[in-house]
């Protein structure tokens, strides 16, 4: 920023230059960003970029592995048992760890339970998925939040074992932890 020293009666930076029209002026040091708002915006945009990129798998193959997980979550949100079952390997199972105790159920039992009509809106969200693939076998490890009517009910980590059959990824089994001490509650 260039300031006319006659207008302000002093020199802010001591860096003087002469402008014949307005008299002595000073140039504020380090005036690269014009304001702190610009620096804050730049930092926020960078952080948002990292957060957004962490929500998505890095490669098309990893995105393909996550597709049935997303489809299962969409079926759960709609409380649609058939939509829940569609991306699941028939005969698959779940292990839900609650308070150090495992609860086991088949995919069919899970779909029937979650697919029942209800008034509460449910949604499961994962973030920062770690995807590992070896030929027709993959694993997805991801922190999750489970929301009821828009509020976090519980959180934990999801573990999905995935298989590729006839070129299509399916969820072969699920294990998760569930706890109530979630930071974003």
Per residue in 41-79, pLDDT (tens digit) is 444 444 444 444 444 557 999 999 999 999 999 999 999
Distance CA 13, CA 28 (A): 6
Both 80 and 168 in a single domain?
A: yes
Both 94 and 132 in a single domain?
A: yes
Q: Is residue 184 part of a domain?
A: no
Q: Is residue 40 part of a domain?
A: yes
pTM of the model: 0.69
Pick from 45, 42, 24: which is nearest to 33 by CA?
A: 42
Both 18 and 68 in a single domain?
A: no
Look at the chain and report how many structural domains it folds into.
2
Both 43 and 103 in a single domain?
A: no
Range of the domain at 112: 58-178
The confidence score (pLDDT) of residue 184 equals 58
Both 106 and 141 in a single domain?
A: yes
């Amino acid at each position: 920023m260039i300031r006319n020293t006659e207008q302000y009666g002093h020199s802010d930076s001591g860096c003087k230059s002469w402008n014949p029209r307005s008299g002595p002026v000073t140039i504020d040091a380090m005036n690269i960003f014009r304001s702190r708002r610009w620096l804050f915006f730049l930092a926020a945009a960078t952080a948002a970029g990292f957060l957004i990129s962490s929500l998505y798998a890095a490669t098309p193959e990893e995105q393909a592995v996550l597709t049935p997980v997303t489809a299962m979550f969409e079926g759960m949100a709609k409380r649609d048992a058939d939509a829940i079952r569609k991306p699941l390997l028939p005969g698959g199972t779940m292990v839900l760890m609650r308070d150090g105790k495992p609860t086991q159920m088949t995919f069919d039992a899970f779909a029937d339970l979650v697919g029942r009509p209800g008034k509460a809106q449910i949604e499961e969200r994962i973030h920062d998925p770690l995807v590992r693939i070896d030929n027709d076998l993959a694993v997805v490890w991801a922190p999750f939040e489970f929301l009821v009517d828009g509020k976090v009910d519980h959180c934990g980590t999801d573990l999905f074992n995935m298989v590729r059959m006839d070129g299509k990824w399916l969820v072969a089994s699920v294990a998760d932890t569930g706890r109530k001490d979630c930071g974003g509650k």
